Amino acid sequence: MSDHGLSYLANCSIMFTEHPLLRRPAAAKAAGFDAIEFWWPWPDQPVPADTDADAFVRAVLEAGVRLVGLNFFAGDLAGPDCGTLSIPARAGQFRDNVDVAVGIGGQLGVSAFNALYGNRVADASPREQDELAADSIGRAAGAAARIGATVLIEPVSGPKPYPLRTADDAVAVVTAARTAGHQNVGFLCDLFHLANNGDDVDAAIAKHAGVTSHVQIADWPGRGEPGSGRLDLDRYLADLAGRGYAGWVGLEYKPTTDTETSLAWLPRQRRAARGQDPR
């Protein structure tokens, strides 16, 4: 493993699943991480009960980790959904969620909110969905700015009819948002999704490192831990760092074994924050 100097965090929606959700922050801390990220913890609830939200906040605080990244409500990611912000029948769920997510984020030090774009649907044209998406992203950016956070736009792979497939696709949305005055919208460079979609990862990094606000990794094929596939992740991360990226690297992989064993590639001392504020 090369020493590119970037700090790692654990995605506790896809890692540490041996534990109930509220115990995963503590499990990540016990494994040596200072920081974590989560998908929206309630896939069927844009606005959870106050008691549930309070329990989530308490679990993170008591674990002594920082929640760096949090998805806005995106529906059932394990099922048919991949965001709601561009879907006319469901954009209200996204709007209802924004202030709740930012409220949680303000308590836990969240610096980035992933705004998944949403699938194409039969009852709206692509143009209608894109116009709605621009409005939704602008609203989210305004709310996130209140706590100094960024809104992330991500290309996604897989069989769902998700329109942002390449780095260029996602960065076009970022550019439009920034042109509209929302400078706190950035590119989420997920190396697995780019590779899985057949995008040129080297070219994407070279072209878009300057608007990259967060990075996530998993190996390809398979989406397992680094070393389980064929991606030269160290080289990609070193290239990002060399081009000025100094943010977090989210481990968003599906362990091929238990989570702790799957971390054998990453020495324990490299799991702690390096040059990042862990709180």
CA pair distance 119, 129, nearest whole angstrom: 9
Q: b vs e for 133-150, b when ≥16 Cβ sit within 10 Å of the residue's Cβ? A: bbebbbbbbebbbeeebb
Whole-angstrom Cα Rg for the chain: 17
8 A C-beta contact, residue 105 and residue 40: no
Residue among 97, 95, 122, 79 nearest 40 (CA): 97
8 A C-beta contact, residue 201 and residue 195: yes
Annotated active-site residue 18? The verdict is no
> Which member of 18, 128, 154, 260 is catalytic?
154
Query: How many whole angstroms from its chain centre is CA 218?
Result: 12
Annotated active-site residue 154? The verdict is yes
Give me the residue label for tokens 């194409």. Answer: 120
Give me the residue label for tokens 């390096």. Answer: 274
8 A C-beta contact, residue 248 and residue 8: yes
CA pair distance 104, 112, nearest whole angstrom: 12
Dihedral sign for Cα 128, 134, 138, 144, please: positive
> Which member of 62, 128, 225, 252 is catalytic?
252
Exposed (0-12), middle (13-18) or buried (19+): which is 17, by Cβ within 10 Å?
middle
Catalytic residues: 154, 252
